[in-house]
Amino acid sequence: MKAVETKDLTKIYSSSFGKKKVQALVELNLDVESGLIFGLLGPNGAGKTTFIKLLLGITFPTAGNAKILEESLSNYSVKKKIGYLPENHKYPPYLKGGEVLKFFGKLSGMNGLDLDKKIDELLELVKLSQWKKTKVKAYSKGMMQRLGLAQALINDPELIFLDEPTDGVDPIGRKEIRDILVELKSRQKTIFLNSHLLSEVELITDRVGILNKGKLLREGTVKELTEKKEEYKIVIEGNAADLDSISFDNSFTRISDGSYSVKVADINELNKTIDQLRSRSILLKEIIPMKNTLEEMFISLITESEKNIK
Ligand SMILES: Nc1ncnc2c1ncn2[C@@H]1O[C@H](COP(=O)(O)OP(=O)(O)O)[C@@H](O)[C@H]1O
Ligand SMILES: [Mg+2]
């Protein structure tokens, strides 16, 4: 099943005088399968929040269309199956954690014991049980985001939209949030998250889309997007004298005393080189398939697309 499906989705914002127009999304085509953690990545202003707002019906497309959970956006009943954590959300500071969830639970039509039970379950999931009766003004940023997650889950949604869920949260808090998202995935939820924080998105997403200036530049698994053309690095134990006495097609780079590396272009060369090294009793320490980090790929992709625009 497709959780999200868009066809030439376009959003142009015009100022109140209609003079200045911002193309926030340009003919965007994106499909997201159910059951995945999908990350929409892009710099500030790329159009990520606009994308989520269009899917939720908070704002309307200028052109194109979209489906969520295989229903058209005009079908409001599908909203019952959706959870949403907005960017930079704020709750009234005088409310306690449990009260915030009660408020949102009532908004989604829940009540009584069922709601109380759900609230306790969710506070447990996001590790805030002991903070249930504490006013949210005392919460840290990480705790606020976790409470926000619980709020987005109150109606037991199938599909959850999270806009920058870890922005401004410290490393331990970010890890806690990632763990919750992985747990939700194991409960068959689909998670669509927006982020400009690449290194951590890389750790949990199944697929990512790269958005810049309203255009989807790439979409795929993190592995697909970060793979370089085939290249391997072999790390060996040995010293310069061992290596000088024999001639290889490739030159070795010194890593440290007694440790050298060599790069080879493909699997045949990799095995040929290993044979040569082993026949000389040189010890192999590591064989590493080379790849770009998501961040390197992201920066080169964005820089390239900016060049094309100019
Ligand atoms: N309500 C709005 N009116 C006019 N322009 C907007 C509005 N919301 C967003 N924009 C513009 O649309 C572009 C995309 O914004 P946004 O979707 O918030 O990006 P992101 O979430 O990736 O940072 C930006 O240039 C932003 O200034
Ligand atoms: Mg945003």
Measured in angstroms, how far is the CA atom of residue 67 from the centroid of ligand 2? 21
Please name the residue whose Cα sits nearest to atom 3 of ligand 1: 13
Residues 154 and 63 in one domain: yes
Q: Which atom of ligand 1 is nearest to the CA of 15?
A: 4
Is there a single domain that holds both residue 135 and residue 261? no
Query: Which ligand ends up closest to the CA of 42?
Result: 1
Domain-located, residue 122: yes
- Residues 57, 146, single domain; the answer is yes
Considering the domain architecture, whether residues 266 and 157 belong to the same structural domain is answered as no
Mapping DSSP onto H, E and C, the string for 195-208 reads ECCHHHHHHHCCEE
Question: For the domain that residue 285 is a member of, what is the CATH number?
Answer: 3.30.70
Same domain for 145 and 255, yes or no, is no
Residue 241 sits in which domain range? 229-291
* Within-domain flag for 173: yes
The residue to mutate among 10, 41, 50, having the most atoms of ligand 1 within 8 angstroms of its beta carbon, is: 50
43-56 pLDDT, tens digit per residue, is 999 999 999 999 99
What pLDDT was estimated at residue 281? 85
pLDDT for the residue 247? 63
pLDDT for the residue 246 = 64
Query: What's the pLDDT score for residue 201?
Result: 84
Which distant-in-sequence residues (6+ apart) come within 8 Å of 244 by Cβ?
none
**Looking at ligand 1, which atom is closest to the CA of residue 194?**
21
> What is the CB < 6 Å shell around ligand 1?
13, 22, 24, 42, 44-50
- Ligand 1 atom index nearest CA of 164: 21
Domain count for the chain: 2
Residue 221 in any domain: the answer is no
Kindly report the CATH number assigned to the domain that includes residue 125: 3.40.50.300
Cα 89 to ligand 1 centre (Å)? 17
CA of 283 to the centre of ligand 1 (A): 56
Mean pLDDT in runs of 10 for the chain (310 residues)?
97 80 95 96 94 95 96 90 94 96 94 95 96 96 94 96 91 91 95 87 91 94 80 85 67 83 87 89 89 80 77
Candidates 9, 12, 13: which one to mutate for ligand 1, based on the most atoms within 8 Å of Cβ? Answer: 13
- Domain assignment present for residue 191? The answer is yes
Q: Which atom belonging to ligand 1 lies closest to the Cα atom of 43?
A: 22
Query: Structure pTM?
Result: 0.84
How far, in Å, from the CA of 292 to the mean position of ligand 2? 26
Among the atoms of ligand 1, which is closest to the Cα of residue 211?
22
